[in-house]
Structure 1
Amino acid sequence: MRVFAAIRPSPQALEHLDSALQEVRDGAGLTLRWGDPEQWHLTLAFHPDLPEGAVPATLEDRRRRRAHLTVGRLSARAPRAPRRRRGEARPPDPSQLVLSRAVHALSVYRGPAWDAEEVELLSSHLGQGRSGGPRHELLGTVPLGG
């Protein structure tokens, strides 16, 4: 099964981001498909083929080894740096201009700070969500903290 670990921003942070992206979404029209805000999350780990029977043991193992997670400002240049070092060109993309505007809007976005209390373990069911997107099912949670 397709499983991922994620943290969800606070409702206030999601509302703030949703409002900040409204102008970008309006300008993009149908060129970009946006996920539903109630499914927005930060993916920490992805397991494309986790056996279904492994979920309870995975959750229990993570609960025994509690963690503290701190995320700071991430560099927008980081993902592109390895490609530039290898001399690879960007692949052509007809929606690049629209996507570029969205990337710029997010690069200057500053949302409210929020604390994550737990990590969620979710399964992903492709094509079963609204408008053919994925549907996420909560399998369990692991608390964060000291």
Structure 2
Amino acid sequence: MNEQIPSSTVRVFIALAPPDDAKDELARELEPAYRAYPRLRWNRVEDWHVTLAFLGELPVAAVPPLRPPLADLAEARRPVDLALRGSGSFDGRVLWSGIDGDLDGLHRLAGEVRTVVRECGIAFEERPLRPHLTLARARRDDLSGVVEAADGIASFTGRPWRADRLHLVASNIGRGPGPIRYRDIASWKFTGER
């Protein structure tokens, strides 16, 4: 009998999530690519998100102190108006959809989120924000399909939507076979004026 040993760490990031109708709109646009490139590792539509800060693998005990300051940040901030637009690839391995709309507001929000994380004493790799939504990854043994799929949706322009919640998310990456799965640890509605 194999007993699952609970992990003392969790892989964490802070993100925004498009509403279901915006995700569905892009998923319909992707239908030809799903059929043409079945060997790509497609992310589940319900897991699509825009990462503001990737914190990596953290001790489970480091997560609860993030909640109050992130809740305060969301309470002080107004929603950000965005849209999904175009596509591209990172190194021919990762297929993504671009983000359009209030990019200045998105960059300010990401900066504030990262400040909160640092103030909580959590060290993380601070990469420049490249607003995108990851759609699929190529398999290590088969790099075909990503660039072609990106070309197929390059002209996509989705409807505008409002990112009205801040999400603290955990992922199961590296925790066994199967697709990557994400779950909200907590989320907070943006209710502020700034």
TM-score range, shorter chain: 0.7 to 0.9
Matched, 1:7 2:16: yes
**Paired position in structure 2 for 1:67:** 77
Match of 1:123, SS? strand
Q: Of residues 76, 95, 98 in structure 1, which corresponds to 2:143?
A: 95
The aligned residue for residue 44 of structure 1 is: 52
Does residue 117 (structure 1) correspond to residue 164 (structure 2)? The answer is yes
CA distance in 2 between counterparts of 1:16 and 1:64 reads 32
Cα displacement (A) at 1:41: 1.3
Q: CA deviation at 1:35?
A: 1.2
For structure 1, which runs of at least 5 residues remain unmatched after alignment? 81-92
The 8 Å contact of residues 2 and 48 in structure 1, kept in 2 or not, is answered as: yes
Q: Tell me how large the CA RMSD over aligned residues is.
A: 2.8
2:29 maps to 20
In 2: Cα distance, 1:11 partner to 1:4 partner? 20
Amino acid at match of 1:38: E
The CA deviation at 1:48 is 0.9
Are 1:142 and 2:142 an aligned pair? no
So what's the TM-score if we normalise by structure 1? 0.74
More strand by share: 2
The answer to whether the aligner puts 1:33 opposite 2:41 as a matched pair is yes
Answer yes or no: is the 8 Å Cα contact 1:118–1:143 preserved in 2.
yes
- Name the CA distance, whole Å, in 1 between partners of 2:20 and 2:160: 12
Q: Which has the higher helix share?
A: 1
Q: What per-residue deviation string (whole Å, max 9, x for no partner) do you get for residues 27-80 of structure 1?
A: 1132x1111111111111111122212222212112223334455788978x78
The verdict on how the C-alpha distance between 1:76 and 1:22 changes in structure 2, with shifts beyond 3 A counting, is closer
**1:105 alignment partner AA:** G
Question: What TM-score, normalized by structure 2, do the two folds share?
Answer: 0.57
Residue in structure 2 matched with residue 107 of structure 1 by the alignment: 154
Q: Which has the higher contact order (CA 8 A, sep 6+)?
A: 1
Percent identity between the aligned chains?
26
